[in-house]
Amino acid sequence: MSLPLTTCAPPHPYAGTPLWPASTRPLRTGDLAVGGVSLAELADRFGTPSYVIDEAEVRGRARAWRTALPDADIAYAGKAFLSRAMIRWVEEEGLSLDVCSAGELELAALSGFPAERIVLHGNAKSPADLRDALRLGVGRIVIDSTGEIASLAAQMPPGARQRVLLRVVPGIAAGAHSAVRTGVEGQKFGLPIAGGEAEDAVARILGQPRLELVGLHCHLGSQIAGLGPYVTAVRKLVALLAELRDRHAVTFPELDLGGGFAIAYREGDPVLDPSLYATRVTGELALQCARFGLPVPRLTVEPGRWIAGPAGVALYRVLAVKSTGGRTFVAVDGGMSDNPRPALYGVRYTVRLVGRASAAPARSATVVGRHCEAGDVLAEDVALPGDIRPGDVLAVPAAGAYQVSMASAYNLVGRPPVVAVSEGRARLLVRRETLEDLRSRDVGE
């Protein structure tokens, strides 16, 4: 069923910017429409909190990477947000899929995604994870530790051979927060190049006839806006490829540089451009391979947040407004259960009133959640109309990645639904988690 669309005015300043989906338009009521559908009407129909995903934005962003790197393998990082619809969209846009658990893998399989286009990650894959990957025939398994080599080889059926990548750590600090910098030594992912651990793991994999090592993998971190870290990674990884060729007489046909591409959460935030990335990184890769006399490996990149994040808008309803200690707090019906990122990483968001026009002067407010934690803050010091009141609907852009996927049922508050919008129509992708869902998991004494 379609939701009616109020007559649109000309595109507002957000349209086409990285913060909001490109389809975003202002309505004369003071509301916004995304994908041709009123956000306030979505809040009324599906309740709040809710997450809205613009299908056209997802597809457009997937195409941006395909256009920038037509000869590369673009693997959507499912950990950002995964649903059956998202899996279908990225498949139809020609992308591969990066998963990191048996649950994500099973959802991909149930959705009919081609197994040979799936890459399985994980620093601690369980035996069940590996069994499922082998049973389904995934295209690549990324080996993250030396212990995983023998574990995987032991599960291989006689006569079979699994293609694998080795995740290496190039010793590059990049990312918006220390908790998401995965290209440096001393964290849980991968095997460092420095000290020879990565080279030792290569030798072990080459000694396993049931494993086919096809290349190297690295992931530097998250929210990386500059190209410098990726260029440095290319230099270090190609040098390692040359060293492995000289020592083991092998050349590898693939190089996976991971993802971590920055998006904007507030006006002015730097954003990584796929076309600039493609020009700089592929140029450096060709240059370094020529320097060492290596064939240029096929590049893989793994955008997740960059595709899903700006396609999503979170909707909340105001429950209370309180002024205390010289600050104004606007409490909403969601919080850290549906978006733990501000509490985990100190992320700051943009917030906008939708559903009505207001002529009241703006004032600084802190938007907080409903949970029993002082750190349950969704957005600090945002400008909201001075007449903000209970019942109002607030919209938060750049909400499509690492919010629903990281959601919990803290305080036994169910996880929100996900609604897709496209060409003036809205449809439910993931239903709201109900109290009955939560009760059904408690089996009693």
Among 91, 118, 93, 69, smallest CA distance to 279 is for 69
Tell me which amino acid residue 432 is: R
3-state secondary structure of 391: coil
Tokens found for residue 429: 């992708």
* Catalytic residue chosen out of the listed positions 8, 100, 289, 372: 372
**CA pair distance 38, 26, nearest whole angstrom:** 9
Contact 96, 139 (CB under 8 A): yes
- The answer to whether 78 and 303 have CB atoms below 8 angstroms apart is no
Q: Is 289 a catalytic residue?
A: no
Rounded CA separation 278/372 (Å): 45
Is 369 within 8 Å of 332 (Cβ atoms)?
A: yes
Cβ-count burial of 47 within 10 angstroms (0-12 exposed, 13-18 middle, 19+ buried)?
Answer: middle
Reduce the DSSP state of residue 441 to 3 states and report it.
Answer: helix
Rounded Cα–Cα distance for residues 29 and 52 (Å) = 20
Tokens of 156: 């291989």
**Burial code of 270-283, b = ≥16 C-beta within 10 A, e = fewer?**
eebebeebbebbbe
Please identify every residue annotated as catalytic: 372
